[in-house]
Amino acid sequence: MNKQADPAWVRGLMMDFPDLEPLYEAHVKEFGKLLPHLLFGDVVRWAVAASEAGNIETVRSFANRLEHDYPDLDSGSRNLIEVSFVEDLPSLGQVGAEIGQLLGPALRDEYVRTHHRAGMGG
């Protein structure tokens, strides 16, 4: 259950999105290695900023890539997406909440589950 995300998948994902490549490179330079859950905190902030700047198609493309990859990923990479991306996205009423609507069916279910459990009594 505490298996780490696949570093090759994380790196490939970052390199496939030019806006994320500098985030990845700075992260590795700062920490001396990849810390996927910490990096994905920056990815969430990037997605919110991109959405707010009107770059919704970039964010949609990233969300689509996560949805596409998700079923075939190892448990560590799936956990990374669930806990450090989907769960950390803004909730309804917060800046960037529209990103939740860009998620595909599997990740949208995860978003609803994690963002509504506290507000709906469980």
Question: Tell me: the pLDDT tens digits for 18-28?
Answer: 999 999 999 99
Q: What span, in angstroms and rounded, lies between the C-alpha atoms of 119 and 117?
A: 6
Mean pLDDT of 62-83: 97
Identify the burial level of 110 via C-beta atoms within 10 angstroms of its C-beta, where 0-12 means exposed, 13-18 middle and 19 or more buried: buried
Tell me, what DSSP letter sits at residue 84? I
Q: What span, in angstroms and rounded, lies between the C-alpha atoms of 50 and 19?
A: 9
Please tell me the pTM assigned to this model.
Answer: 0.90
Q: Which two tokens stand for residue 77?
A: 């990479």
Is there a contact between 85 and 13 (Cβ–Cβ < 8 Å)? no
pLDDT-derived band at 2, boundaries 50, 70, 90: low
For the cut 90, the answer to whether the pLDDT of residue 64 exceeds it is: yes
